[in-house]
Every structure is written in structure tokens, then in C-alpha cells.
Amino acid sequence: MSVRPILTEPNKILRQVSRTVEKVTLDEKKLMDDMLDTMYAANGIGLAAIQIGVPKRIIVMDISKDPNKKDPRYFVNPIIKNKDSKKATYEEGCLSVPNQFAEIDRPSKCDVEYLDYNGNKQLLKADGLLATCIQHEMDHLEGILFIDYLSKLKKSMILKKLSKSKSNTAVL
Ligand code: GNR
Ligand code: NI
């Protein structure tokens, strides 16, 4: 179990399409453990493997508000089976786009088929923050970031702020 560095935009690795996992082996379980440690350490509610540089279709999430009541969820090879035509708007952030937030519209509900930590097939009917978060994470598997949904102007403003904060940390 260890906390790994999180890649931040701009980074070409974040734009890779992640590969399907053939089988949930000990390697994948160790990766999921590290991802959960990394996500909790960064105070995130979700993390895709590509955010720590591993191009596998694996996501971890914990949307519980109470830090004392952990509710980790693991998704391997998730597929969206059904999306609600109704949209919901959430203020999104991303550990790979640090300290930047924007309102994003996504289907308010979705059904997701996936393999769990033990490699067993599951179906989740998600709504609310859970639905938003799983869709945000599944975008990472395709190399998509939430800023890609913004206007050119808003996106370029965020990228400019990111490059400024990156060059500041290089000086410190
Ligand atoms: O920690 C996170 N919070 C969040 C808030 C609203 C919508 C999506 C998210 S996911 C994000 C962690 C992250 O970057 N996952 O990829
Ligand atoms: Ni993200």
C-alpha cells in the first residue's frame, strides 16, 4: 500500500486510452490498493489508474462524506449500459487539474456494468454525485478531462493558471 504521485495536465499520458484488464490478479489488487491510498491522501472522491500513470481500465471511488466511515468502491472495465436523457450539473474538480473547478452537465443517472475487486461482475444503478463521479472517471479511461467540455476561452484560462502554478512550484 503506497501513495503514488498524481500526473497533472498538461501530460500526454493523461490523454492515453486505457487498456481493458484481462483478469483481476494480485497486480491489479495491489494497484487498486495504491490508488485508494493515493486518492485518500489527495482528498479526492475518485481516481482512475491513468492518473498515476497506469493505462488500465481501473477506477476507485469513495463518495462518503464522513472520513471515519470509509466506503471504497472499485471498478474494473466499467461499461455504461444506460444513461438518463435528463442532465445534472455539478461543480467538478480533478486531481489532475489541481485547484480548478467548473460546472459540467452530464446524464443525471446511469447504469454501469463492471468487475469488482474480486473480479466478479456487478451492475450499479447510479444517480447524484455517484453518477457524475463515475462518468468523470470513465472519461479518464478515454483520455478525456472535464476541461475538454468547456469553451475554448474557459479551457485556455484554466490551462494558463495551471502552467503558472507549475512554474511557481518549480522555483520553490
Ligand atoms: O475529487 C474529485 N472530486 C470530484 C468532484 C466533482 C466531480 C468529479 C470529481 S472527481 C475528483 C477526483 C478526480 O480527479 N478523479 O478523476
Ligand atoms: Ni479527474
Q: Exactly one of 9, 28, 92, 137 is catalytic; which is it?
A: 137
Is 137 a residue of the active site?
A: yes
What spacing in Å lies between the alpha carbon of 45 and ligand 1's midpoint?
6
Q: What is the pLDDT of residues 92-119, one digit of tens each?
A: 999 999 999 999 999 999 999 999 999 9
Closest by Cα among 23, 34, 44, 59 to 140: 59
Pocket test for ligand 1, best of 45, 91, 108 (most atoms within 8 A of CB): 45
- Average pLDDT of 34-62? 98
Give me the domains of the chain, ranges plus CATH numbers: 12-167 (3.90.45.10)
pTM value surpassing 0.95: yes
H helices, E strands: number in the chain: 3, 7
Q: What is the pLDDT of residues 21-32, one digit of tens each?
A: 999 999 999 999
Place of cell 467548473: 102
Residue 170 has pLDDT above 90, yes or no: no
Residue 53 has pLDDT above 90, yes or no: yes
Nearest bound ligand to CA 146?
2
What does the CA dihedral 81, 130, 125, 103 come to, rounded to 10 degrees? -50
